[in-house]
Structure 1
Amino acid sequence: MESNNYSNVTFDYDYSDASNEIYPDFAEPYFMYVMTCIIISIGLPLTVAAIYSLYSQVQNNNVAPIYIINLFISDIIQFCCMIVLVAKPDGKIYEIFFYINFFGVMASVGFMVCIALERYLGIAWPLWYRFRSTIKISLAVCVVVWTLPLVYVLPYYYWVDHRVKNTISYVFLLVPFPLLIFFLGGTLKSLSAAISVSSDEKQRIVGMLVLVLLIYTLLFLPSIIWYLVGEDRHNDTFSKLTFILLRFSPLADLILYIFIRKGAIDKLLASLCCCRMDSDDKSRSSA
């Protein structure tokens, strides 16, 4: 089996002979290779820098950075696997790193749910969250999130029963979507009645939840649709689009760093306003 047959698939890849009939002669276009190299060169150093910066913010009463740090670690796994996959090794090496990358993707989805859940509990159940949210509990949750993708990935590597694999796929890939919507809706409802939360903090919380939902919807959901709609899997354009969107997800996760840093949004908006004012002044002086 040639290595270029592996690069088409995001979620439903079967390394059996039957996969050659489903994904015949797919070759990754050059623009996808270039785009992947750009994503790696930008995302990998920024992600490492973000982890180093967030590590100093972890406190017993502030466990939110723990989930984001683990999300970034799952992104680093994906970046490292991308480096190997774009090199296009042959046979078993490609297969191994494909599944490691798959493991990183599933872990990142899990930590996105944890981030949204943590924000929701902090607003909707503040007293419970204050006494129950500790570093030990957060680390235990992280261990569970790292373990769950193994339950999903290992069957793909060892099991032959396609119905079992498909059932696990539906459950694992579709559960985060309604959860993220629920957490966002519940947080918005609770924030309207929260008096002790400042307006800046409300903006940061809502912005983070909206961003998590957007990342999942725009970058992960197309691949899920591609998986569910089996008759459209021969559409190379759609499959390539979902594949490159999924590769953008580790880079998009870095935007969460803006919302976890206090004052970062204000600085960003201030810089944007300054740039706009400078452009307006230049246009007026030229007129």
Structure 2
Amino acid sequence: MEDLYDNTTLEHDLYEDVELQTDLSTALRVTTWIVISIGLPLTLLAIYALVSLVRGGQVAPIYVINLLVSDLIQFCCLAIREAAPMGVIHSVIAYIYEIGLMVSLGFMVCVALERYLVIACPLWYRFRGNLKVSLVVSIMVWAFCIILFIAIIFASSGPLVPLILLSIFHLLPFPLLIFFLAGTLKALSASISVPSEEKRRIVGVLVLVLLNYTLLFLPLIIWFLAATTHSIIFDHNLGLILLQLSPLVDLVLCVFMRKGAVDKLLACLCRCRMTREQEQGLINTVNDDTAGRVSSV
């Protein structure tokens, strides 16, 4: 009887696991097409807008432009993967998609580093942070990620070694992003020459990049590391869904690249909050008046 109960429970658990995987797989496909349809045109528009800023003499958008280009590659790979039949092309697209992810992480670090240098080393950044240096660094990031990926894939023996090495590479930005944010906050507390708007823009960029990595990249990295030890914590489709939302978050960086945009956003939020507080105060006043009249009667 106990064996029958155990078998029934096991079959029920397996059925629930299969059903959950099917639901997550369907959710992944739906999310993929939603992200592509929204992110692809918006990314093209954002790149065009940031290129106009670079032509105007600003250096900061260079790394964000490269980040959006890597997102564009990811969108194209996702679209081809969903539309094309299974075969050799899927393996090639998977390789290109992974390179796009590596490049995306590289430029997330570059964006955070550039914002950190603006505060921590303002004199050095003023004389060294020019367009030529940014372009050279961008080319180096692209070349490094491509060469490293090829070396990991074709120079490794066994299926687990590339997975472990790529997971380690994907973990490297985490301490760097935390260091840049902590160092920037520490430098900002002692800085009096940086305008308030510029401080909000810099901190906003660093917080957004760190949250993007922590909430959207890190879960899938943890899954990959757990898969190497055969201790799966959650379904990988959930990590893929979160990862595909990352390019949409990168689009928010465009807000922090335009002067005055952050103040307008904060002013709008404060105005909405004040409106709600005024409405709540008016409701409380009416209730108090009503209660006073009832008590007087």
- The TM-score range, normalised by the shorter chain, is 0.7 to 0.9
Residue aligning to 1:114: 110
CA offset at residue 281 of structure 1?
6.1
Kept in 2, the 8 Å contact 1:61–1:130? The answer is: no
Report the residue type matching 2:221 in the other structure: I
| Deviation of the 1:285 alpha carbon | 7.5
Name the SS of the counterpart of 2:92 in structure 1. Answer: helix
Q: Equivalent of 1:203, from 176, 195, 200?
A: 200
**Shift >3 Å, 4+ stretches:** 59-62, 231-235, 273-287
Q: 1:93 to 1:61 in 2, by over 3 A?
A: same
Aligned amino acid, residue 182 of structure 1:
F
Confirm whether residue 146 of structure 1 aligns to residue 123 of structure 2: no
Choose which of 122, 126, 136 in structure 1 pairs with 2:122.
126
The letter of the residue matching 1:40 is: I
CA contact (8 A) 2:74 2:101 kept: yes
Name whichever of 256-265 and 267-276 sits farther off.
267-276
Over 3 Å counting, the alpha-carbon distance change for 1:122 and 1:160 in structure 2 is: closer
Residues 1:41 and 2:37 aligned together: yes
Residue in structure 1 matched with residue 7 of structure 2 by the alignment: none
Listed one character per residue, the Cα deviations across residues 97-149 of structure 1 (whole Å, up to 9, x for unaligned) are 11111111110000000001111111111111111111111101000111122
SS in 2 for 1:229: helix
Aligned-partner Cα distance in 1 for 2:156–2:168:
18
- Structure (1 or 2) with the larger CA radius of gyration: 2
Question: Counterpart of 1:175 in structure 2: which amino acid?
Answer: L
- The CA deviation string for residues 194-247 of structure 1, in whole angstroms up to 9 with x for no partner, is 111011111110111011111111111111111112345655x43111111111
Partner of 1:228: 225
Residues in 2 aligned to 1:141 and 1:178: alpha-carbon distance in whole angstroms: 20
Q: Give 1:84's aligned residue.
A: 80
Which residue of the other structure, out of 97, 100, 104, is the alignment partner of 2:100?
Answer: 104
% same residue: 53
Q: Is the 8 A contact 1:220 1:246 kept in 2?
A: yes
- TM-score with structure 2 setting the length: 0.80
Q: CA deviation at 1:152?
A: 3.2
Q: Which runs of 5+ in 2 are unaligned?
A: 1-20, 287-297
Q: Distance in 2 between matches of 1:153 and 1:243?
A: 20
1:11-43 deviations in whole A, cap 9, x for unaligned?
A: xxxxxxxxxxxxxxx867222111111111111
TM-score, length-normalised on structure 1?
0.83
Q: CA deviation at 1:270?
A: 2.5
* Displacement of 1:261: 1.3
- Indicate which of 176, 181, 184 corresponds to 2:178: 181
Task: Decide which moves more: 51-60 or 217-226.
Answer: 51-60
1:168-203 deviation digits (Å, cap 9, x = unpaired): 325422221111111111111111111110111111
Q: CA–CA distance in 2 between the matches of 1:34 and 1:135?
A: 40
User: How many pairs align?
Assistant: 261
Cα shift at 1:164: 5.2
